[in-house]
Chain A
Amino acid sequence: MDEKDGEETTYEVPIGPIHPALKEPFLIKFKLDGEEIVDADPHPGMNHRGIEFMGMHRNPVKVIPLSERICGICSIVHQHMYTTAVEHAVDIVPTNRARYIRTIMMELERIHSHVLWAGVAAHEIGFDTHLHFTWKIREKVMDLLEKISGNRVNYSMWTFGGVRRDITEDMHPDIDETLDYYLDLYDKLEDIFLGDPSIRHRTKNIGILTEEDAMKLCGVGPTVRASGVKKDVRIDQPYAAYGDLDIDYVIPSRYDYEDVGDVFSKTLVRLKEVVQSINIIRQCVEKMPEGEITSEPNMAALLNKLKSAEGEGVGRIEAPRGEAMHYVRLVEDNEDVDCWKVRASTYNNLATYAPMFLGEQIADIPIIAASIDPCIGCMDRAEIVDVNTGEKEEYTDEELHELSVQKTERMLGGIDE
């Protein structure tokens, strides 16, 4: 409790690291003036497992399964970024068929991630019926992912130069059926999350992120697209098969809504992206080229190639939560990965908490916290500790922004060389 002039007082309320509203260990310290939030201070680091360190002590092939265990919800995302970064460094070109299979898998994961988020959001504002409803319909896409890859989560499907499992003709009816299932249910989802008056009451004009703040704080993904920022790596810098596909930015004004940037807009963007994903998968299934699924079928030869490889690579992707990036460096006399750096989308989006929380009520904390779809498992890979004193350094938003800009410049410099 801070006292100013013996009169005004603010209370500090810590939420986390173990809290029923959080599924992951994470701590935010709120300063409250009555019901109103005057300051929010996130303290990450509880989920720090040292994944990059572990990756730098294993050979590049062993790091693939490790990379998908950065986060169990976006495992395909990290797998894809890591493999493309190594492919970029070693000049391995994935086959055309593999590019399409990768795109289908990534979009299926986007459907599962967004539907999961819708359930969590409903749970946070007290609609547990909707949580159970969305998680029930989510099982359909999990079944399809299991049918294609053999596992419900952590698919281990990627390899350098392609994928390890094919999507054959006989799977097409299953894919079609799943996509139809979601299209049929979509109206009901929209009716629940966009039409229901009590949900609108809890989401409209809550946790607003203005377009200016979104740009200033370098937010990514649906979080900033809801504010009207046209930012999507799938269109800005196409990877996998996205270059061949018809795809557009999902922002609220495209659907006759205003680009407000509140929780409602974020819900809208995520729901519309489910439809977009269905559309993309349909296009991929239609256009899928014939051919091999991997350009490096011989594992021994691949390992030899990686052992003597030298180079730097970057993998960039539009994850369900926004843009994320992996950087990999391989050097000749080191058979392990020499350097591996991961930048996940929640790292950027966490800075957007500050303007969203300010002035809101305590009761809105859970839904605002959930609105960026935070993934602490993805983000907690670095913390800054002063070794001499053991004290943690804290950064203001401007400093974080500056650091982020410097890092991007550093990485871009690395590519040019």
Chain B
Amino acid sequence: MKLSKTFDKALWVFHLNSGSCNACDIEIVAAITPRYDTERFGIKLVGTPRHADVLLFTGPVTKKMKDRVLRVYEQTPEPKVVLVVGNCGSTTGVYYDSYGIEGPLDELLPEDANIIYANGCPVRPENIINGVKEAWLFLEKVRGDNE
């Protein structure tokens, strides 16, 4: 599918908390409020995965959230990028030996999912913005500009 040039300049992001400790979530809100202000790049949070281009996952995926995480992933239209925010999403981090954790996320999502990691515990807002930049680069690749 050929994407228009304006597409990746207005990335719509859906934020899903799959059992994180809130730290990354407040840093995400900090990233969209005036100090870091990602909205000047056309990035904004939307209320439903069906409107989103980027899925922003935080948390190590708890047992109860596993099915919901997969459902939200399936509801998001292609092409999509998954941005995993925080160490617990990419490796389960400090929660590594718990009975209640199904993650890390990349083991649950389909193998062809495009996953980008923003690491840190919690992630600094600068690093979240960096993650969104990576998502841009990926979407440019889909469009064929970078090849």
Contacts and interface: CB of A to CB of B under 8 A. Distances in A.
Contact of A49 (B35, B62, B72): B62
B63 A48 contact: yes
Interface residues of B, number: 38
A18 interface: yes
A18 B72 contact: yes
A297 interface: no
Interface string A126-163: 00000110011001001000000000111000000000
B94 A48 contact: no
Contact of A50 (B25, B100, B122): B100
Interface string A40-55: 0000011111110110
A25 B64 CA distance: 10
A175 interface: no
Nearest to B47: A20
A186 B33 CA distance: 20
A45 to B, nearest CB: 6
A53 B65 CA distance: 19
A126 to B, nearest CB: 14
B22 interface: yes
Nearest to B88: A69
Given A48-B62, A50-B101, A69 B23 contact: yes
A24 interface: yes
Contact of B22 (A17, A23, A50): A23
Contacts of B47: 20
Contacts of A119: 33
A377 B65 contact: no
Interface stretch (A71-79, A81-89, A265-273): A71-79
A65 interface: yes
Contacts of A142: 30
Interface size class on chain A is 35 or more
Interface string B1-41: 00000000000000111111111111101100111000000
B142 interface: no
Given A18-B68, A53-B99, A153-B122, A24 B34 contact: no
B60 A49 contact: yes
A47 B19 CA distance: 4
B64 A377 contact: no
Contacts of B62: 25, 46-49
Given A50-B101, A72-B22, A136 B64 contact: no
Given A70-B21, A154-B122, A135 B29 contact: yes
Interface string B50-87: 00000000011011110010001000000000000000
A71 B26 CA distance: 11
B21 A139 contact: no
B34 A132 contact: yes
A356 interface: no
Contacts of A25: 17-19, 62, 64-65, 68
A375 interface: yes
B146 interface: no
Given A17-B68, A57-B97, A136 B35 contact: yes
Contact of A73 (B22, B63, B97, B121): B22
A288 interface: no
Given A24-B17, A116-B26, A136 B68 contact: no
Nearest to B72: A18
A72 B30 contact: no
Nearest to A70: B21
Interface of A: 17-18, 20, 23-25, 45-51, 53-54, 57, 65-66, 69-73, 75, 116, 119, 131-132, 135-136, 139, 142, 152-154, 375, 377
7 contacts: A17-B64, A48-B100, A49-B100, A50-B95, A53-B100, A72-B23, A153-B26
The 9 A-B residue pairs whose C-beta atoms are closest, nearest first, are A72-B23, A135-B33, A20-B47, A50-B100, A50-B98, A72-B22, A136-B34, A153-B23, A72-B21
